[in-house]
Amino acid sequence: MNNFEYCCPTHVVFGKGTISRLPELIDKNKKVLMIYGGGSIKKNGVYDQVKKALEGYNLIEFGGIEPNPKYETCKKAIDLIKNEGADFLLSVGGGSTLDATKFISLAAKYQGDDAYDAIMVRGETVGDAIALGDVITLPATGSEMNNGGVISRLATDEKLPFHSDLVYPKFSIIDPEVTYSLPTRQTINGIVDTFVHVMEQYCTYDVNSPLQDGWALTILKTLTEEAPRVLANPTDYDTRANIFWCATCGLNYWIAPGVVQDWSTHMIGHELTAFYGIDHGQSLAIVMPRLLKNQKVSKAKKLAKLAREVFGANEPVDLKAADIAIEKIEEFFNSIGMKTRLADYGIDSHEAAQKIKERFMKRNVALGEKGTITADTAYDIIIEC
Ligand code: NZQ
Ligand code: ZN
C-alpha cells in the first residue's frame, strides 16, 4: 500500500427531515448567500424548507446555476458578493450547484480579473475562500464530502476540474427524501457517475490493498442491487438512502487512500461534455467500456476480481474474467436505461476522436495510472465508442 494522508473536515448530517437542522450549522451572525440551480428546489419543497429553517437570518439568494456550471454564470454571483457582501455560502441543489458554489467561494477572494484562467487553467493557489455548506439534492458527484469541482467556460468550450482544501463543505445535509423528485434520467446519471468514480479509484493495478478494494467492490455491488429497485420504486426511502450514501462514499476519498488512481474516463468524458453538451453520466457510460477494453491487460487483475465478486463470474483466467467484467458493466448501464454509444447521442465518433486528440496534443496529456493514455490512445478509444 502507498503512503497517504486523509482528512475530511465535512460534518455530514444524513437522513429524513434534516434540513431543519440548518440553524445549528450556520452561525446566526453570518450573512448567508443561498445558491441554487434552475428551479427544481422550488417545485419539490426544498426551497421552502430551507427558507423556513433560516427564518430570521440575513439571507440573500442567487439562482440559475446550470448543469455543468458555467464560469459566465458564476461570475454574476461573484459580482453580487462583491456588491452586497456575504460571509457564508449555502449551496442548495445538485453537484453542479455545489461545484459552482465552491468555485465562487474561492473566486470571490481572488484579486485578479480572470479567476477561471487563474484557478482552472494555471492552477494558481487562492489563499482564502468564503466558508460554505450545502443541502445536496442529487446523489452522484460526492462533491458534498470532497474538495473538488468542475467548471465549464462557454467562451472556450472548456470543462476543467479544480481542487482546494478550502472548499470542503463545513457541513452537508443529505436528506434522501429530496431525491424522490429526481427525473429518471438524473437518477440514472447519478448511479453511473458513482459507479465510475469507484472504478477510477479501484480499477488500476494491485498494491495489496484488500480493505480499500473490498469497500470499493461493495459500493459497486450495492449499486447494481439498488439501481433496479429505485427505478421500480422511486419513493422507497431505504433504496434512496443506500444510493445516496454510495454516491457520497464513492468520492469522499475513503476508498482512495494508499491505492493508485486513474481518472482518464472522466478527463475524456469532460471533453465530450465540453464539445457536445451531453450529461456527465452519459459521457462516462460511453467512454468507460471502451477505455477498459483498451487498457485491459494492465487492469486485468482488478477487472477479474470485480467480475468474480460483483458479477459472480466463475472464470479462473484473469484476462477472460476481465472481458466478462467489461461486458457486464456495459450490460448493467444499458439495463438501467443508460445508452453507451456516441451514435445514441447523435455524435460522430470520428469527429469527436479528432477534436479530443487535437486538444490533448496541445495539452501534452498522459492519462491513466501509468501515464500511457496519450492523445493518440484517446483517439483510439473514442473511435471505438
Ligand atoms: O438545476 P435544477 O433545477 O436544480 O435541476 C437539476 C438539474 O437539472 C436537477 N436536480 C437536482 N436535484 C434534483 C433535481 N431535480 C429534481 N429533484 C432533485 N432533487 O438535476 C439536473 C442535474 O443536476 P446537476 O447538479 O447538474 O447534476 P449532478 O449532481 O450530477 O452534477 C453534475 C456536475 O458535477 C460534476 C460534473 O462534471 C457535472 O458538471 N462533477 C463533480 C465532481 C466533484 N465535485 O467531485 C465529480 C464528478 O465526477 C463530476 O465531474
Ligand atoms: Zn463523475
pLDDT digits (tens, 9 = 90+) for 151-170: 999 999 999 999 999 999 99
Grid cell for residue 226: 439498488
- Model pTM score: 0.98
Residue nearest to atom 48 of ligand 1 (CA): 141
Tens digits of residue pLDDT in 294-320: 999 999 999 999 999 999 999 999 999
Pocket test for ligand 1, best of 99, 103, 189 (most atoms within 8 A of CB): 99
Average pLDDT over residues 279-299: 98
Q: What is the pLDDT of residue 3?
A: 97
The pLDDT assigned to 191 comes to 98
Tell me the pLDDT tens digit for each residue of 81-130: 999 999 999 999 999 999 999 999 999 999 998 999 999 999 999 999 99
Closest approach atom of ligand 1 to CA 196: 48
Q: What is the pLDDT of residue 209?
A: 97
Alpha carbon separation from 3 to 101, 146, 193, 215, 257 (Å, rounded): 32, 20, 27, 18, 8
pLDDT tens by residue, 130-151 = 999 999 999 999 999 999 999 9
Read off the pLDDT of each residue in 34-57 and give the average, rounded to a whole number. Answer: 98
What confidence category does residue 72 fall into, taking pLDDT thresholds of 50, 70 and 90?
A: very high
Predicted confidence at residue 336, as pLDDT, reads 98
Provide residues with CB under 6 Å of ligand 1.
Answer: 37-41, 44, 67-68, 93-97, 99, 137-138, 140-143, 146, 148-150, 178-179, 181-182, 186, 189-190, 193, 251, 266, 280
**Contact between residue 77 and residue 35 where contact means Cβ atoms under 8 Å apart:** yes
Q: What is the mean pLDDT of the chain?
A: 97
Confidence of residue 53 (pLDDT cuts 50, 70, 90): very high
Ligand 1, pocket-test mutation among 280, 284, 287, most atoms within 8 A of CB: 280
